[in-house]
Amino acid sequence: MKYITSKSEFDSTIAETKTLIVVDFWALWCGPCRKVEAIFNELDEQYKDEVMFIKVNVDDGGDIAAAASVRSIPSFHYIKNGQTIDRIDGAVSKYTLEQKIDQHK
């Protein structure tokens, strides 16, 4: 899992990565974010060879969140070939996140 705080690092990671990327936009003060944190960590371990997982704290990477049109957190963005291809807003189950991963990888 990669923690990103700068827009330039985010942009270069997105541009250089050829596999599916799942980005978790979150914050320390967000209860639902903490609720799904363990799920996101499990998925990172489960798909570690196939998918890149990135966490962006919206308090540290507000410019990244603004550019991604994040309006509520948690917000999970699925990115492939430099483009956001899907997203899920809100705390959801592991199954829901897995379904999207399997659909897009």
pLDDT digits (tens, 9 = 90+) for 13-32: 999 999 999 999 999 999 99
Domain range for residue 33?
Answer: 2-94
Three-state DSSP class for residue 7: helix
Low pLDDT (below 70) residues in the chain: none
Tell me the C-alpha distance between 12 and 80, whole Å: 13
Tell me, yes or no, whether 100 lies in a domain: no
The answer to whether residue 85 is catalytic is no
Q: What is the CATH number for 13?
A: 3.40.30.10
Tell me, yes or no, whether 19 lies in a domain: yes
The pLDDT value recorded for residue 57 is 98
pTM: 0.95
* Region of 15 on the Ramachandran plot (φ > 0 left; ψ -120 to 50 alpha; else beta): alpha
Tell me, yes or no, whether 63 lies in a domain: yes
Tell me, yes or no, whether 83 lies in a domain: yes
Phi, psi values for residue 89, rounded to 5°: -105, 135
The pLDDT value recorded for residue 99 is 96
* Of 20, 33, 54, 97, catalytic: 33
The answer to whether residue 5 is catalytic is no
Tell me, yes or no, whether 12 lies in a domain: yes
Domain count, the chain: 1
* Of 30, 54, 64, 70, catalytic: 30
Burial of 41 (0-12, 13-18, 19+ CB in 10 A): middle
The pLDDT value recorded for residue 22 is 98
